Amino acid sequence: MLCFALGYFQRGKAKASRQVNPPKIITTKELELQIKLALSHTDIIKRAHGNPSFKDFIFDNPNKIRTTRFMQIHTTRHLKIIQDILK
């Protein structure tokens, strides 16, 4: 995909699913729990086998390297959104 070559996702083109949309009120405690959960998931990915047994509707059968790269690009995108909000 082009996003892997460019290293970013174009903003405003995709919409998050209902399951990942944040609640209307976000507390510090909830953010801390989400960060801990995300870190534990990254540890699982680091230990995972190189070829997962799931199929993604956009990325087909992503391997460990591609999944890690996606996480880097996606996290950078979210950090840019946060910076824009804080301006």
Q: 56 CB contacts (<8 Å, ≥6 apart)?
A: 62
Name, in order, each residue with C-beta under 8 angstroms of 8's C-beta and a sequence gap of 6 or more. 73, 76, 77
Specify if 27 maps to a domain. Answer: no
Within a domain: residue 71? yes
Asked whether residue 57 is assigned to any structural domain, the reply reads: no
pTM: 0.62
- At 12-38, the pLDDT tens digits run 766 777 777 777 888 899 889 988 988
Question: pLDDT tens, 29-86?
Answer: 988 998 898 888 888 878 877 676 666 666 676 777 887 888 888 888 888 888 988 8
Q: Is residue 47 part of a domain?
A: no
- The count of domains in the chain is 1
1 pLDDT band, cuts 50/70/90, is low
Q: Which domain holds residue 80?
A: 63-87
What 3-state DSSP class applies to 60?
Answer: strand
